[in-house]
Structure 1
């Protein structure tokens, strides 16, 4: 077997219209600031073999623009959409704290046992991300991939690669707007080894 290295550059979407909230599956577009954040995070000289994106427009619109500009193939992966926050979709943390402070406190203390009311269980979210990750890790072997997705998705991917417990996956790593991370996957005769190479601002 020939050894191979696959690079996944992850980037969270920029600021959406409406500002910070539990957005989840709420399909808001990027604000003007969000577009600028994304464009500032990518250098002209950078190139990938494939752009992979969440289907939500705060990710897909920029991914499509970038793929077209650079002449790169674009793939939309539904499995990389954000966690669904159920009854909290479209609400701010301040609003939830005002009305049901105990619910949001339980979520931050134990998100595995106390998901948002009507929301996606963290274990199900983890399984969805894991399945999509393993699929694309195989399909994109030996390539350089840019994945445009969400803070929750990136946090979960980093947690899985770094063996962070599920209950800490949502709070262990800060992922601000347009934050970039790099995962490296080496497929060798000794097995598949994945690691985090970088996280945060990059030198462009």
Structure 2
């Protein structure tokens, strides 16, 4: 089984903390990033099915993709981005200046110092792992595109690499990038590549 993990494109509203409580649609640039990532011609698409986060910055593109070339699509609530609690919708500058102590603590140790009301990282990772395993099996195909978020992609790769919680933040995951994981019958789960853009 091959799973390509596609991060959504740039959302409207600029850069800010968007977890699962802040749901902005893709900007025009975000749509371009997504189509560029997969290629305009559906003939070139290797996937047999699609899994998507229910958030509009992912779901809208997944639905457009499957309208262009019909294939099974499952919307998976477990693929929502990690929750940022009280930071949802705030810009980095707003948090840096208005919540300076929280900001410093989070960037010093994002595992132990979550934003107030944020989803615990261990819970988020378990949610992503279980969702990927269950939903990919339910889809019943061998080449899957997952349309999701940077945190989800980091959690998935961290799962395959057996990386500690804090290590997943070191993985770059740009808008419209694709990372690949695969399941080999003899060697188990593997990471093929990360953060690839066209």
Same-fold status (TM-score > 0.5): yes
Quick check: which one's helix share is greater? 2
Q: Secondary structure at the match of 1:72?
A: coil
| 2:61 corresponds to 1:27 | no
TM-score normalised over the length of structure 1: 0.90
Conserved in 2, the CA contact under 8 Å of 1:8 and 1:183? yes
Distance in 2 between residues matched to 1:62 and 1:142, nearest whole Å: 20
Aligned length: 194
Q: Secondary structure at the match of 2:38?
A: coil
Distance in 2 between residues matched to 1:145 and 1:66, nearest whole Å: 13
Deviations 1:123-171 (A, max 9, x none): 11111111112213433566100000000000111111112111222x2
Distance in 2 between residues matched to 1:168 and 1:101, nearest whole Å: 23
Match of 2:13 in 1: 18
Conserved in 2, the CA contact under 8 Å of 1:47 and 1:70? no
Unaligned runs of 5+ in 2: none
| 2:4 corresponds to 1:9 | yes
Unaligned runs of 5+ in 1: 1-5
| 2:191 corresponds to 1:199 | no
Q: Secondary structure at the match of 1:41?
A: helix
TM-score normalised over the length of structure 2: 0.93
**Counterpart pick for 2:170 among 163, 169, 172:** 172
Match of 1:133 in 2: 132
Q: Secondary structure at the match of 1:139?
A: helix
